[in-house]
Structure 1
Amino acid sequence: MSGNPVMSAPVVETPLQRFLAEMLEDRIAVGALMVFAALVGVAVLAPFITPQNPYDLAQVDVLDARLPPGTLASAGFTLVLGSDGTGRDLYSAILYGLRISLSVGALSGVIAMITGASLGLVAAYVGGWVEATIMRIVDLQLSLPAVLVALILVAVLGKGVDKIILALVIVQWAYYARTVRASALVERRKEYVDAALCLDLSPGRILFRHILPNCLAPLIVVGTVQTAHAIALEATLSFLGVGLPQTEPSLGVLIANGFQYMLSGRYWISFFPGIALLVTIVSINLVGDRLRDVLNPRLKR
C-alpha cells in the first residue's frame, strides 16, 4: 500500500536570519567581529585577568620602570609586554586603557547618534526655516576639520572623561543629522506617512515609530564608522596632551607616555599600545564595511 509523499513546508527565512547569513559570508568581517568581541571581553575582564591595577600607586614600583618584555617584576609576576616609564605593567595598562577608549567611543557615539538623529528627523519633517537653520549649522561644522573643532572644545572644557565625551558628541552629531535627514526626506514622501497624517497621529509618533525605523540601516553604518573615528580622535587628543589626564588611562595616553623613549630603544612603551589601538580601529571599520554591503546591496563590490 503506497501513500502520498509528505510534502515538507518551505522554510521561511526571517530578516534576522538572512542578515546573519549575509554577514557570515565574509570571512574577513567575521574575523574582525571576533577580534573586536575579544577586545571588548578582555577590557571588561581587565581587573580579573591582569596582574596589577596599573593606576593604583600601591601596586606600582618605580624600580620596575622601562623594563623590557619578559622581565620579572619586583612583585614576582612577569612583565609580558614590559613596563612603562613609571613602572606600570604595560599589559595591564593596555587592558585598562582599552576600557576607557572603548567606553569613550561608545558613549560619545550613542549620545551623538541620538542627538543627530533627532535633529535630522525634525529637519526633514518640519522643513522651512527649521530645516534651513539645522542644516546650515551642520554644513558649517562639517566644513571644519574634526580635530580642530575637538582641540578648541577640549581647550575650553578642560581635561576629563566627561569633557572629552562632550567634545566628541559635539564633533560627531552633524554626521548623524545629515544622514538621517537625507533618509527621512525620502520616507517623508511615502504613502504610509500620509496615512499616519490622515489618522491624526502625533508628530513624535510619526517620526520615531514610523520614519526612524526605516532610516536605521544607514544610521547603523555611520555609527560603526563614527565609533572608530571617536576612538582615534580621543587617542589623538590624549597623545597631544589635551585629552585625558595621566590619572585616567587610555591608549592615547599610553602612546604619548612612551613617545619620549622611542629614540632610546625602548620601543615597547609606545609600540604595543599603538598596536592595540590599530587593531581596535581596523576591526570596527571592517565590520562597518560589511554592514554597509549587507544593509545596502547596491554598494556591494
Structure 2
Amino acid sequence: MSEQAATPAPTAAARPAEKAESLLLRHVAAFFESPLAVVGLAGLVLLVAAALAAPLIAPQDPYDLAQLDIMDGTLPPGAESLAGYTYWLGTDEQGRDMLSAILYGLRISLGVGAVSVVIACAVGASIGVLAAYAGGRIDSLVMRVVDLQLSFPAILVALVLLAVFGRGVDKVIIALVIVQWAYYARTVRGSALVERRRDYIEAARCLALPKSRIVFRHLLPNCLPPLIVVATVQVAHAIALESTLSFLGVGVPVTEPSLGMLIANGYDYLLSGKYWISTFPGIALVAAIVAINLVGDRLRDVLNPRLSR
C-alpha cells in the first residue's frame, strides 16, 4: 500500500476546527500588521499589569491613613519626605504619593469599566438577539425602549441614577450597565436580523431544535464579531464616564479614589502651580483610553472585511 493511500483523510469534525484555527490566525496576523494597534495593545497590557500588581509595586498604600503624613502634602515631583523617601510624581494635599495613587486608581477605573461592559454586553446581547429572532411586536417594543434609552445623554442618565442609588463602586457599575446595555442590544439585533435568514438557521428549525438552542448556540455566536468591537470601544467609554462621574463627586467614594477623583483633588491647585496633582492622573487616564481605542479601531478593521484596506 502506498504512503499516500495509508494517510487517513481528515474527518468532517476536524475540518471546521482547522478552518476556525486558520481564520483566527489570519485575524491575529492582520491585527499585528498595524504598528499603532501593536503600540496600543502593548500600552494596554502594561497598564493592566501595573493595575493588577499595584499592591506589590506601589511604594505606598494610599488607602492606609497611617502611612500618610500631612507634612508631606503637595510636594513637587522628585522631592524627598522628612523620612528620606523620594516622591517621584509628587504628593497631593494629604501627603499621598501620586505614583501609588495612580496605580490604585487604575485598578478601580479599569475594573469598573471592564466589569460594567461584561455585564452590559451579556444583558444587551441577550435582549437584542431574542428580539431579532422573535420579530414582530416584541422586536418593535424592544427597539422602542432602546431608542428611548439612547435618546438621552449617557452622563445625564448616570447622574440621575447615582443621585438615586448613592455613591459606591457597585452603584457606579449598575449605573453604567443601565446606560450601556442598549448599545449592545442594537448592535446584536442588526447582525441577528441578517443571520436569521441564513440556511443554517432554517436547517436548525427544520430539525425542531429548541428555540433557546437556536438563539444562543447558533445565532448569537455568529453575531460576536461586531459585538467584540463595540465592547472594546465601550470599555474606553465606560472608563471616561466613570471618571467624569467621580470628578463631579457622585461616583466612587473618597476612600476608593479612581483616576477621575484624583484629577478632581488637584483641580483647585492648578492655578497655584501645583500641576502634578491633576496632570499625572490625567495622563494615565488619557493613555488608557487611547490604548483601548487603538485596539478597538484595529479590531473593527480586522473583523469587518468590508473595512479592510
What's the TM-score, normalizing by structure 1? 0.95
Aligned to 2:292: 284
Aligned to 1:240: 248
Which of 278, 283, 286 pairs up with 1:275?
Answer: 283
**Could you tell me whether the CA contact under 8 Å between 1:51 and 1:77 is conserved in 2?**
no
Aligned: 1:19 with 2:27: yes
Alignment partners' CA distance in 2, 1:122 and 1:296: 23
Deviation digits for residues 173-192 of structure 1 (CA, Å, limit 9, x no counterpart): 00000000000000111111
Aligned to 1:265: 273
Aligned to 2:150: 142
Aligned: 1:154 with 2:162: yes
Which of 119, 124, 133 pairs up with 2:127?
Answer: 119
Which of 194, 201, 208 pairs up with 2:202?
Answer: 194
**Could you tell me whether the CA contact under 8 Å between 1:232 and 1:281 is conserved in 2?**
yes
Q: In the TM superposition, what is the alpha-carbon distance from 1:300 to its structure 2 partner?
A: 3.3
Aligned to 2:67: 59
Aligned to 1:132: 140
**Shift in alpha-carbon separation, 1:75–1:114, aligned structure 2, 3 A:** farther
Instruction: Give the SS at the match of 1:264.
Output: coil
Aligned to 1:228: 236
Aligned to 2:115: 107
What one-letter code is carried by the residue in structure 1 that aligns with 2:183? Y
Deviation digits for residues 97-117 of structure 1 (CA, Å, limit 9, x no counterpart): 000000000000000000000
Aligned: 1:50 with 2:45: no
Q: In the TM superposition, what is the alpha-carbon distance from 1:297 to its structure 2 partner?
A: 2.2
Alignment partners' CA distance in 1, 2:144 and 2:83: 58
**Could you tell me whether the CA contact under 8 Å between 1:61 and 1:74 is conserved in 2?**
no
Aligned to 1:88: 96
Q: Which moved more, 1:83-92 or 1:66-75?
A: 66-75
**Identity of matched residues, %:** 66
**Could you tell me whether the CA contact under 8 Å between 1:66 and 1:84 is conserved in 2?**
yes
Alignment partners' CA distance in 1, 2:95 and 2:129: 51
Aligned to 1:8: none
Q: RMSD of the alignment, in Å?
A: 1.2
Alignment partners' CA distance in 1, 2:24 and 2:188: 22
Q: In the TM superposition, what is the alpha-carbon distance from 1:299 to its structure 2 partner?
A: 1.7
What one-letter code is carried by the residue in structure 1 that aligns with 2:28? L
Aligned to 1:7: none
What's the TM-score, normalizing by structure 2? 0.92
Alignment partners' CA distance in 2, 1:202 and 1:57: 57
Alignment partners' CA distance in 2, 1:100 and 1:74: 30
Aligned: 1:184 with 2:192: yes
Q: In the TM superposition, what is the alpha-carbon distance from 1:215 to its structure 2 partner?
A: 0.4
Aligned to 1:30: 38
Q: In the TM superposition, what is the alpha-carbon distance from 1:73 to its structure 2 partner?
A: 2.2
Q: In the TM superposition, what is the alpha-carbon distance from 1:75 to its structure 2 partner?
A: 4.1
Q: Unmatched 5+ residue regions in structure 2?
A: 1-17
Ranges of 4+ aligned residues in structure 1 off by more than 6 Å: none
Aligned residues: 291
Alignment partners' CA distance in 2, 1:130 and 1:297: 31
Alignment partners' CA distance in 2, 1:296 and 1:198: 30
Instruction: Give the SS at the match of 2:60.
Output: coil
Alignment partners' CA distance in 2, 1:147 and 1:299: 31
Alignment partners' CA distance in 1, 2:27 and 2:160: 41
